[in-house]
């Protein structure tokens, strides 16, 4: 029976279409037989240098030039090359078989490396094992190397009309400004002063997403896991936060049991010491949750960005705060892209922005590099007057989903006792909203509100 490796070498030497598809994904170490590994190395080297397939004669000459083989091995290699004849094989089957062989070999090698790490024969940390195994399991033939503007117009047109998967808010105006919710692979930031409601906002949105039947990961670096859970209890169990401790155990159990019946989602809360964890730790946590609990979040909350660490810079290094906070923001956004989820976090206002009734982007604490990286950034503003009305003012600062001048400012209701936010009556918005522009699209009617009539000369 012909081995897969021999079949692969045959087709690499005689089928250019096959070679172009598989060569980027095959590694030298996948070949167990040293002779086959050398033949593959020479084919790969020639293709990279001359962008063409070598003949068997060229392959023999290149092998003869090697200084790492003896006379006996040279004869065996020439014998191997001479038997690499052209053969007709069903192409789809050959590609699938090659892909499976690459994945199987990658998994085997990853397992061997993991054993060496566990035995202490490798300098890598045991924490690297889940990542090594995950990379091996992810091996696949992906030929997409970019969007061909002229050639891929049909795919582009379809993408314009494809409904993007989003995490919806239970707050009307946040859905309006985001065109229906938060898309995956994004970083979304709430800007507020101390005590205004950054954590309250994130706990409320986390609660609402859980009730949608979604999986939620809440990472806290500020408060203990129990304090975050207590806020979410107040929100979901409809009990003032001060009264939760007085609930009888049976009543508390009944409320949580009834809540579990309403959702298929899961909420995981993970605490890290302040300024000790970065995107690398969060990635390891996600891999660990996937392996141990089969848990994959639909959205991640990080409370909050400025007290995260950076995987690229040490906190006590001499870099400035602009570079440090921007690095954290970039790493978190990279995490959102890698795991295909939206990330929601928060940041503090500067001293001048604290207590201000009209916060600007320049009031971002520590680094203006943060709003440069975020996809959505909005301020949560509280004044004595708003506090008396049980409201909080939201102001868009940056928005990649929609025109930020539409509904630039709006108010939402806030119930601090039950850690909840809610929509205010329309009359509450009259003096707040910026209504200079119409919405570009009517989502209820599913048609444009106004049609482009062409340029006027």
CATH code at position 89: 1.10.860.10
Same domain for 312 and 181, yes or no, is: yes
Q: Is residue 218 scored above 60 in pLDDT?
A: yes
Phi, psi of 262 (to 5 degrees): -90, -10
Please give the model's pTM, rounded to 2 decimal places.
0.65
**287-297 pLDDT per residue, tens:** 889 888 889 99
Whether residue 246 sits in one domain with residue 113: no
Question: How confident is the model over 27-55, as pLDDT tens digits?
Answer: 999 999 999 999 999 999 999 999 899 99
Tell me the average pLDDT of the chain. Answer: 84
Rounded distance, CA 31 to CA 46, Å?
18
Confidence of residue 434 (pLDDT cuts 50, 70, 90): low
Cα 112 to Cα 108, 115, 132: the distances in Å are: 6, 5, 11
Tell me: do 336 and 432 sit in the same domain: yes
- Do 348 and 423 belong together in one domain? yes
Same-domain status, 122 and 183: no
In terms of domains, do 130 and 187 share one? Answer: no
* Nearest-10 Cα torsion for 239, 244, 247, 253: 80
Determine, yes or no, domain membership for 208. Answer: yes
The answer to whether position 340 is within a domain reads yes
Q: Is residue 153 part of a domain?
A: no
How many distinct structural domains can be found in the chain? 2
Q: Would you place residue 149 in the very low, low, confident or very high pLDDT band (cuts 50, 70, 90)?
A: confident
3-state class of 191 per DSSP? Answer: strand
Q: What radius of gyration, in Å, describes the C-alpha atoms of the chain? A: 29
The answer to whether residues 408 and 395 touch, using CB atoms and an 8 Å cutoff, is yes
pLDDT at 428: 67
H or E segment at 343? strand 342-348
Number of H helices, E strands in the chain: 16, 13
pLDDT for residue 266: 93
- Pair 131, 205 in one domain: no
The conformational region for residue 267 under phi > 0 = left, psi -120 to 50 = alpha, else beta, is: beta
Q: Does residue 145 belong to any structural domain of this protein?
A: no
Among the three residues 117, 137, 157, which one is the final residue of a domain in this structure?
137
What is the mean pLDDT of the segment spanning 225-245?
91
Residue 457 lies in a domain: no
* Percent of the chain's residues with pLDDT above 70: 87
Mean pLDDT of 157-186: 89
Q: Do 175 and 118 fall into the same domain?
A: no
Assess whether 223 and 354 both reside in one domain. Answer: yes
Phi-psi region of 311 (alpha: psi -120 to 50; beta: other; left: phi over 0): alpha
User: End of a domain among 121, 137, 153?
Assistant: 137
CATH number where 175 lies: 3.40.50.300
Regarding whether 173 and 79 lie in a shared domain, the answer is no
Q: What is the DSSP string of 161-179?
A: HSPPPEE--SSHHHHHHTT
Work out the angle at residue 237's Cα, subtended by the Cα atoms of residues 177 and 193, and round it to the nearest 5 degrees. Answer: 45
Q: 275 with 405, same domain?
A: yes
Residue 43 and residue 103 in one domain:
yes
Task: Give CA 162 to chain center in angstroms.
Answer: 20
Domain with 88, as residue range(s), is 4-137
- The reply to whether 318 falls in a domain is yes
- 422 in a structural domain: yes
Among 137, 156, 181, identify where a domain stops: 137
Q: Is 376 helix (H, G, I), strand (E, B) or coil?
A: strand
* DSSP-derived pairing of the beta strands 409-415 and 420-423: antiparallel
Q: Is 419 left (phi over 0), alpha (psi -120 to 50) or beta?
A: left
Tell me, yes or no, whether 424 lies in a domain: yes
Contact 170, 134 (CB under 8 A): no
């Amino acid at each position: 029976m012909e081995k897969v490796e021999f079949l692969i070498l045959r087709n690499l030497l005689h089928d250019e279409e096959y070679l172009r598809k598989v060569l980027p994904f095959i590694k030298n170490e996948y070949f167990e037989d040293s002779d086959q590994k050398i033949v593959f190395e020479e084919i790969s080297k020639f293709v990279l240098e001359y962008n063409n397939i070598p003949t068997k004669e060229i392959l023999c000459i290149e092998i003869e030039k090697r200084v790492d083989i003896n006379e006996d091995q040279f004869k065996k290699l020439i014998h191997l090359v001479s038997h690499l004849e052209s053969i007709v094989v069903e192409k789809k089957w050959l590609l699938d078989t090659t892909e499976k062989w690459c994945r199987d070999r990658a998994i085997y090698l990853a397992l061997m490396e993991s054993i060496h790490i566990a035995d202490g024969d490798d300098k890598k940390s045991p924490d690297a094992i889940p990542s090594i195994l995950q990379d091996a399991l992810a091996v696949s033939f992906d030929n997409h190397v970019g969007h061909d503007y002229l050639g891929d117009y049909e795919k582009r047109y379809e993408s314009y009309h494809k409904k993007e998967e989003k995490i919806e808010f239970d707050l009307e105006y946040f859905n309006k400004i985001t065109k229906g919710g938060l898309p995956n692979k994004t970083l979304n930031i709430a800007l507020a002063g101390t005590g205004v409601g950054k954590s309250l906002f994130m706990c409320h949105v986390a609660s609402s997403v859980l009730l949608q039947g979604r999986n939620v990961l809440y990472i806290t670096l500020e408060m203990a896991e129990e304090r975050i859970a207590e806020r979410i209890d107040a929100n979901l169990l409809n009990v003032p936060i001060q009264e939760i401790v007085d609930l009888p155990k049976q009543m508390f159990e009944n409320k949580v049991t009834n809540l579990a019946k309403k959702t298929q989602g899961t909420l995981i809360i993970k605490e890290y010491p302040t300024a000790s964890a970065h995107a690398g730790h969060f990635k390891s946590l996600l891999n660990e949750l996937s392996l141990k609990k089969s848990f994959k979040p639909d959205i991640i909350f990080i409370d909050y960005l400025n007290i995260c660490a950076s995987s690229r810079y040490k906190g006590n290094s001499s870099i400035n705060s602009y570079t440090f906070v921007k690095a954290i923001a970039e790493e978190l956004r990279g995490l959102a892209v890698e795991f295909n989820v939206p990330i929601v976090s928060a940041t503090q206002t500067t001293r001048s922005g604290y207590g201000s009734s009209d916060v600007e982007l320049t009031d971002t604490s520590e680094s203006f590099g943060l709003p440069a990286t975020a996809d959505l950034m909005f301020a949560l503003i509280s004044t004595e007057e708003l506090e008396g009305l049980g409201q909080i003012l939201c102001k868009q600062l940056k928005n990649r989903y929609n025109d930020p001048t539409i509904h630039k400012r709006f108010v939402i209701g806030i119930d601090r006792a039950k850690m909840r936010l809610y929509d205010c009556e329309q009359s509450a918005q009259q003096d707040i909203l910026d209504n200079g522009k119409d919405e570009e699209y009517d989502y209820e009617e599913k048609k444009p509100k106004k049609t482009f009539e062409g340029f006027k000369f």
